[in-house]
Structure 1
Amino acid sequence: AEAELVRAHRLEAVGRLTGGVAHDFNNLLTVIMGGLEIIRKTDDPARRQKMAEAALAAARRGERLTGQLLAFSRRQNLRPASIDLNALIREGEPLLHKAVGDGMTLQFKLKRGLAPTLVDAAKFEAALINLLVNARDASPSDARICVETADYMVIPPAAPMLALNLPASEPAHTGTVHPSDLQPGRYIRVTVADNGAGMTDDVLKRVFEPFFTTKGVGHGTGLGLSQVYGFTRQSGGSISIQSTPDKGTRINLFLPWHTLSPPPAEAAPDAEPRDTQPAPDASGEPDADAAPIRLLMVEDDPGVAEVTATFLRTEGFAVDLARNATEALTCLQTHSYDVLLSDILMPGGISGIELARRVAVECPDVHIILSSGFPGEVEALRQTPWAFLPKPYTPGQLRALLAHKKDQTP
């Protein structure tokens, strides 16, 4: 009976997740489809521009929504770097004050010295703003909200209580604050505390479920805390909540302690910049008659293939299309290419990564770019030299990746 109850709760969560995604994406698609239909039928340039901007804005909201879902599933594309959280928080103070608003008091109690960890700085700032907005919405207009950092150590259960070499003002904490899934080790604890409405036990049990929210309709997606949870777990840490109704809430992020890496050496002031422009011909002008760069695009989605190929051709590339890796290998046997742009997840039994491995061996001069709408795939590419382009991408992002190849072409 207990197992059946757990299964029923999981099915309920999945149903709420799919229903919430469908609801939000249907709204976005309504804007995009309506805007494109008006663009197709109207000759008014101003109206076409307005509808194009509305459709583009809706597409970008869809991109943010999928980013939140990927954060919850711990499959987002992180760019971790060695940073000092204290310095990052101080740098972002003006933005954090704006997130809270003028009527509330926002305090910072940051630990002495450094708070070193290895995280994606932009994703951490987004998570912190999410927590502050939640604290603001759950608090009265004259509330106090506090952001704290502290050293934190999780001792293995069988280990003796040894000295942690922490400052006297930062005592070692016992296991009453951190969640049970946090592994033994040293962490930086980031806490957002408020004196607002707090949460009941029933709310606390569901607070990380996607699309679960206690806010009114139109005042929250229910993805804020699930996104923070996913980011923290993907960064090697965890999250806990201490809350009492009518007394306030403390949300604690535990991020692994990490020795800061030295900053990269700067180039000498008198160093000459390298010329990355195409080499001119004998007349001093770029060679307008140079052969176009041949690009093989492997994409099973016809819409993505058509839009991207059209853009690439306007940029001067000679583009051939293949619907899967098998077709791509056939093209590579009969033609020579300068660039391979391939999706990772494709039908046919051969993935984009497997295709790239074969091309790298058989055609080592081909510049390889892999793309996917599932950024978790980037984990498999960390030890490879290939570029990764997450979907959805813009023509500008693709242009930036291809610019280096164009500059190398004589």
Structure 2
Amino acid sequence: MPHSRLVLNVDDTEAARYAKTRTLQRAGYEVIEAETGAAALKLVAERQPGVVVLDVKLPDISGIEVCKRIKHDFPGVLVLQISAAFVASKDRVQGLESGADVYMTQPSDSAELTATVHALYRLREAELELRRVNESLEQRVAERTAELARMNEALRREMQERMRAEAALVQSQKMEAVGQLTGGIAHDFNNLLAAIVGGLNLIERRTREPQVIEITTHALNAAKRGVKLISQLLAFSRTQDLDAHAVDANELIEGMQSLLRQSIGPSVSIATDLMPGAAVVMVDPTQLELAIVNLVINARDALGGSGHITLRTQPDPHHAGGFIDVSVIDDGPGMSEAVKAKAFDPFFTTKPPGQGTGLGLSQVYGMARQLGGEATIESAVGQGTTVRIMLPVAHTPADRPAPDVQVEQRGRNETVLLVEDDVDLRSILTDMLRELGYGVLVASDGAEALTLAGRHAFDLALLDFAMPGMTGAETARELKRLHPRLPILFASGHANTQELAGIGSASKLLRKPFETAELARRLREELGRPLPAS
């Protein structure tokens, strides 16, 4: 970089050189001298003065040529060409075209020389400032460009995250809407199936004809398949009341191995990878078993008859200590993104017509969400599939199933107040109760039930939970006000036990649809126990 106050004075005439040096020194400049063009070029290279006062006529190299070389090698050095011999207009033009910044003729007075050098330095400072501004501007532009690039990348990531969140929200809302729809449909179908199952049970009990019994058995089996489908719909819609309690998922999986091996056949292998110790979770064991069976059968079908399935339990990596994952893993062909996005939708299936209902994964999704957990799918084409059910950890020891106790199934001259709004089901339940040896008071709604309760004695109330007008819960509260110790048994397809908790300890739930034997057992359980002290 050129020296800020250094001037090179180049002149082969000693007197002229001395006069210019003294003038510039008095003006505050540091001055170095050269008598020849070669010496001038050497000093410029070594010291890089800010200004060169250059005589045109030199003994070795023309001042015009020296100027050209200086400007070529050191464009930041300013050149003041000065001459006593070449003073014509064409000489000025030649000097300026060689690169000189100013051309002066001698003799010139000291004030003009000083002012000219001052002007050159101001020019030089202006150029340096402009260069600094340009460099600073380039740096600021580069920094701003980098900042904008970072902001753009952050915005792009935010937009992607927002799109994922919006897609998840739309999917959640869609699932919620479909869940509400399927819940309502499932409840209505439960009433239909309850009437069908009850009617078939009565036919079985009243006939001795083998052909009729065979037809009834087939019809009951079909109805039970319908019950399973409705159970899956209710699990998906989260309107089915789960009987959740502490269950060791490891023990449950180990206990299912024989059933699962029979379900998948000999060409598909199944293994377990269970977390050490117990994997105690809060879950409805029946629903968890159903979920595992559904997932294993789906995996078997995806494998196409050959492959490997693994059942795994492990702490959920994203919720340390709070949840345990139960996973079904296969090494099959995997799912595309499009299939994976719809896999939990009810009635969606990739199986041929007649080979799948599309409710298996929906049941898994609904059960997990209802328990406060989550169900997820990890899959890619050619990389197999993992379906993960995240279940809440139970903080109590796993429950052990109680031994089955045989009870008397027949009534003992008790009377049941039956409240059911569905005409067909009400008729079937009346016949079932009488078949079991109970007297029956029949009401079509809550208001009629309360009228009968004020006029007649009875031992137990069997109530539909979801009724128009006065609901089963409201009817039960009024009955408990009239008869505080009255046992109440609710018959419903999707009642919420939290509502039952506020009605009284004698209120229990019988899930629709049910068979005659289940009704008989539950009635004896409620009527056979001692009444609480009043």
Calculate the TM-score normalised by the size of structure 1.
0.74
Q: Does 1:388 align with 2:505?
A: no
Residue in 1 aligned with 2:452? Answer: 331
CA shift, 1:77, in A, is 3.0
Letter paired with 2:357: T
Partner Cα separation in structure 1 for residue 355 and residue 489 of structure 2: 40
Identify the structure with bigger relative contact order (alpha carbons < 8 Å, sequence gap 6+).
Answer: 1
Partner Cα separation in structure 1 for residue 479 and residue 248 of structure 2: 41
Q: Does 1:95 align with 2:214?
A: no
Letter paired with 2:485: D
Letter paired with 2:386: R
- Asked whether the 8 Å contact 2:461–2:488 carries over to 1, the reply is yes
Letter paired with 2:290: A
Residue in 2 aligned with 1:203? Answer: 339
1:357 to 474, 477, 484: 477
Aligned-partner SS, 2:496 = helix
Q: Does 1:306 align with 2:427?
A: yes
1:126 to 290, 298, 311: 290
Q: Which has more helix, going by share of residues?
A: 2
Letter paired with 1:63: V
Partner Cα separation in structure 2 for residue 391 and residue 81 of structure 1: 21
- Asked whether the 8 Å contact 2:271–2:309 carries over to 1, the reply is yes
Q: Does 1:149 align with 2:269?
A: no
Partner Cα separation in structure 1 for residue 174 and residue 372 of structure 2: 24
CA shift, 1:263, in A, is 6.0
Residue in 2 aligned with 1:53? Answer: 217
Letter paired with 1:92: M
User: Residues 366 and 141 (structure 1 numbering): CA distance in 2 closer, same or farther, change over 3 Å?
Assistant: closer
- Asked whether the 8 Å contact 2:417–2:442 carries over to 1, the reply is yes
- Asked whether the 8 Å contact 1:211–1:223 carries over to 2, the reply is yes
2:328 to 192, 200, 217: 192
Q: Does 1:251 align with 2:387?
A: yes
Aligned-partner SS, 2:457 = coil
Residue in 1 aligned with 2:227? Answer: 63
- Asked whether the 8 Å contact 2:487–2:527 carries over to 1, the reply is no
Aligned-partner SS, 1:370 = strand
Residue in 2 aligned with 1:176? Answer: none
Q: Does 1:115 align with 2:279?
A: yes
User: Residues 368 and 54 (structure 1 numbering): CA distance in 2 closer, same or farther, change over 3 Å?
Assistant: same
User: Residues 59 and 263 (structure 1 numbering): CA distance in 2 closer, same or farther, change over 3 Å?
Assistant: closer
Q: Does 1:219 align with 2:355?
A: yes
CA shift, 1:294, in A, is 2.2
Aligned-partner SS, 1:154 = coil
Letter paired with 2:449: A
User: Residues 364 and 223 (structure 1 numbering): CA distance in 2 closer, same or farther, change over 3 Å?
Assistant: same
Letter paired with 1:369: L
* Stretch moving more, 196-205 or 315-324: 315-324
CA shift, 1:14, in A, is 5.3
Q: Does 1:82 align with 2:246?
A: yes
CA shift, 1:215, in A, is 0.6
CA shift, 1:140, in A, is 4.0
Residue in 1 aligned with 2:368? Answer: 232
Partner Cα separation in structure 1 for residue 331 and residue 399 of structure 2: 39
CA-to-aligned-CA distance 1:3-54 (integer Å, 9 cap, x gap):
9xx69x959x959x87xx89xx8xx99xx79x99xx9xxx992322222122
Aligned-partner SS, 1:222 = coil
CA-to-aligned-CA distance 1:234-255 (integer Å, 9 cap, x gap):
1221011111112211111111
- Asked whether the 8 Å contact 1:338–1:365 carries over to 2, the reply is no
Aligned-partner SS, 1:208 = coil
Partner Cα separation in structure 2 for residue 121 and residue 192 of structure 1: 16
Aligned-partner SS, 1:138 = helix
Q: Does 1:402 align with 2:532?
A: no
CA shift, 1:406, in A, is 5.1
Partner Cα separation in structure 2 for residue 408 and residue 193 of structure 1: 47
Letter paired with 2:487: H
Q: Does 1:316 align with 2:437?
A: yes
Letter paired with 1:359: L
Aligned-partner SS, 2:332 = coil
CA shift, 1:339, in A, is 1.4
Letter paired with 1:332: A
Partner Cα separation in structure 1 for residue 178 and residue 250 of structure 2: 37
**Structure 1: which 5+ residue stretches go unaligned?**
156-163, 165-184, 268-273, 278-287
- Asked whether the 8 Å contact 1:238–1:254 carries over to 2, the reply is yes
Residue in 2 aligned with 1:136? Answer: 300
Partner Cα separation in structure 2 for residue 75 and residue 394 of structure 1: 22
- Asked whether the 8 Å contact 1:117–1:260 carries over to 2, the reply is no
Aligned-partner SS, 1:321 = strand
